[in-house]
Amino acid sequence: MKTNFLPASVTLFGALLLAPMVWAQGGPGPGGRGILAHSPANDNKPYDKHDLSGIWSRNGSPGGYGGGGTCRDCGDRGFGTDVPPLTPLGQKMFDANKPSYGRLLGTADAAAHSEEPIGRRRAVPPANDTDPYQHCNPMGPSRALIYPDPLEMIALPDRIIQQFEWGYGTRTIWTDGRKPLMDPDEPRWWGYSVGRWDGDTFVVTTTGVDERTWVDHFGYPHSVDMVLEERYRRSAYDVLELSMTITDPKVYTRPWVSEPKKFRKLTKDAIKTVDGWTGLMEDLCAPADEVELFNKRVRDPAGGVIH
Amino acid sequence: MNSKWHVFGALLALAIPAAAHHGTGASYDLSKPITLQGTVTEFHYANPHPQLFFDVTDDKGGVVHWSAEFYPNPSQLQQGGWGKKRSEAALAVGAKITITLAPSRAGTQVGAILKLLNDKGEVLLGVGGGGPGEVPQGGPPAGAAPEEKKE
């Protein structure tokens, strides 16, 4: 095998040395466009606080990051660090979920960050994880909202549609006055959601979420009895703030309030293919690509699992 | 591996704490990058991770089959000017490449691509050594729509 480490390695080292510094600030956007920072020009733009329609991005760049990093401007990809104590059932479910995100289990890196919840310090190689999304199963609402890629909200007279770029998942939030569906006959991957206005805050209540979904990328569980409340507030023309609360007594001994999440508004032109086609990308997780091809031929062998 | 390389690896590990917090980061060792010269046998421009398969000839003339994944997904490549057609043309079967990988922790012939060059030394798919989270670069391809003014 021919190997040639230097001097290319010196350049690589330099680039990697700088890279975390860039990420820590939110990072540049794909295509070198840079983070879509808040523009003072937007401060005086009129807007309707009850209009949530449009494309919103948590990291402010059109394509987001595929699989890593944090964004101090908008929180990272976890639900929150103030994790309530788990019930015995919750602990059992938590232990069964093995994520590949976070600090690697058993490493010095994980040991050096005991201040972080254990959920962020127990990553295993993807070949050995139990992450349902690694097999293209839907992420469910809280995890999809946490993912740093854009989502589009489409407001109709009786509902709001949330279209997520990552996974290309679609979720319906009904605003036609119906009540939350408690104890539904059949759980759904995206649950059953209703929305109402509480002053200038849009409050979404979701029930009946299939408990195979995770709360976030770190494998925090929930039961089918979870009630997820989202509170959206459009605080500026280009800023949307979100806070979530999970109430799930079967799993958590008290309600779990998320860290605040913040989205920037994007124009559809900010996301563009090489053909100039604008709008959300189709970041679909197709089993033909992900499970049959990538998992079997790259991901699993990388983890020592040979098919 | 010589002592100089060990020192480099140690420095590298210190430099990239954020890189380890990645879904695929658990599979690959970023502190021990390797550079190989190979020939492309297969390439898939697929979500979420485009995949590259290539052969490397070892010192005894034997052929070793390697596979690798890209950190950027197609959406990120698109916005960096690396569409599917351009990428597939750059990585056609038989193309000669020089590739730097974070190797599998399990010791298998799999890696995550940190840097990718063609036989002219040009960076392919914008993967130029920036590590996980690198923004694909390369500029818009010929014929692309001009950049439009944003709000």
pLDDT tens column, A172-231: 999 999 999 999 999 999 999 999 999 999 999 999 999 999 999 999 999 999 999 999
Q: Is residue A121 part of a domain?
A: yes
Residue A142 near residue A228 (C-beta atoms within 8 A) = yes
Which residues 20-59 of A are in CB contact (within 8 Å) with B? 20, 22-24, 27-33, 36, 39, 42
Q: Is residue A37 part of a domain?
A: no
8 Å CB contact of B51 and A297 = yes
Strand A170-174 and strand A192-198: pairing?
Answer: parallel
A22 band by pLDDT with thresholds 50, 70 and 90: very low
Q: In the prediction, which pLDDT does A14 show?
A: 40
Q: In the prediction, which pLDDT does A59 show?
A: 63
For the record, the structure tokens of A62 come out as 């059109």
Is the predicted pLDDT of residue B13 greater than 50, yes or no?
no
Q: Is residue B144 part of a domain?
A: no
Give the predicted TM-score (pTM) of the model: 0.82
- CA dihedral (A87, A88, A90, A91) in degrees, to 10, reads 120
Q: What is the mean pLDDT of residues A152-159?
A: 98
Q: In the prediction, which pLDDT does A37 show?
A: 55
Q: In the prediction, which pLDDT does A268 show?
A: 84
Q: Is residue A241 part of a domain?
A: yes
Question: What domain count does chain B have?
Answer: 1
Q: Is residue B80 part of a domain?
A: yes
Is the predicted pLDDT of residue A4 greater than 50, yes or no?
no
Q: What is the mean pLDDT of residues A109-120?
A: 90
- Tens of pLDDT along B78-88? 888 999 999 99
A160 band by pLDDT with thresholds 50, 70 and 90: very high
Q: Which of A21-30, A77-86, A210-219, B6-15 has the highest mean pLDDT?
A: A210-219
For the record, the structure tokens of B22 come out as 């990645």
Question: What domain count does chain A have?
Answer: 1
Q: What is the mean pLDDT of residues A32-46?
A: 63
Q: In the prediction, which pLDDT does B24 show?
A: 66
B116: domain CATH number is: 2.40.50.140
8 Å CB contact of B110 and A123 = no
**What residues of chain A lie within 8 A of the CB of B100, using their CB?**
8-9, 12
Q: Which domain holds residue B92?
A: 3-128
Q: Which of A99-113, A184-198, A289-303 has the highest mean pLDDT?
A: A184-198
Q: In the prediction, which pLDDT does B129 show?
A: 86
- Tens of pLDDT along B108-142? 999 999 999 999 999 999 999 877 767 677 654 43
Q: Is residue A103 part of a domain?
A: yes
Q: Which amino acid is at A124?
A: V
Q: Which domain holds residue A74?
A: 45-302
- Tens of pLDDT along A52-102? 999 998 765 544 433 333 444 444 678 998 999 999 999 999 999 999 988
In this complex, is the C-beta atom of A272 within 8 Å of any C-beta atom belonging to chain B? yes
Q: Which residue of A has its CA nearest to B49?
A: A294
8 Å CB contact of A23 and B105 = no
- Tens of pLDDT along A224-279? 999 999 999 999 999 999 999 999 999 999 999 998 888 888 888 888 899 999 99
Q: Is residue B31 part of a domain?
A: yes
- A250-264, B17-31, B42-56: least confidently modelled range: B17-31
Q: Which residue of A has its CA nearest to B112?
A: A302
Optimal mutation site among B3, B47, B97, B101, interface A, most CBs of chain A within 10 A? B47
Q: Is residue A181 part of a domain?
A: yes
Q: In the prediction, which pLDDT does A266 show?
A: 86
Phi-psi map region of A17: left, alpha, beta (phi>0 left; psi -120 to 50 alpha)? alpha
**What residues of chain A lie within 8 A of the CB of B151, using their CB?**
39, 42, 238, 265, 267
- Three-state SS for A10? helix
Q: How far is Cα B47 from Cα B64, in angstroms, rounded to an integer?
A: 26
For the record, the structure tokens of A222 come out as 């929930």
Local structure of residue A45 (DSSP, 8 states): -
Q: Is residue A3 part of a domain?
A: no
Asked, as a colleague might, if the bond just before B48 is cis with ω within 30 of 0, I would say yes
A11 band by pLDDT with thresholds 50, 70 and 90: very low
Q: What is the mean pLDDT of residues A5-18?
A: 38
Residue scoring higher pLDDT (A70 or A115): A115
Q: How far is Cα A171 from Cα B12, in angstroms, rounded to an integer?
A: 42
8 Å CB contact of A275 and B145 = yes
Which of B44, B64, B110 has its CB closest to that of A302? B110
Which of B18, B37, B107 has its CB closest to that of A2? B37
Please give the helix or strand (H or E) that residue A108 lies within, else none: helix A108-111
A5 band by pLDDT with thresholds 50, 70 and 90: very low
Residue B45 near residue A274 (C-beta atoms within 8 A) = no
- A5-19, A118-132, A178-192: least confidently modelled range: A5-19
Q: Is residue B90 part of a domain?
A: yes
Which of B26, B131, B151 has its CB closest to that of A16? B131
Percentage of chain B beyond pLDDT 70 is: 73
Q: Is residue A5 part of a domain?
A: no
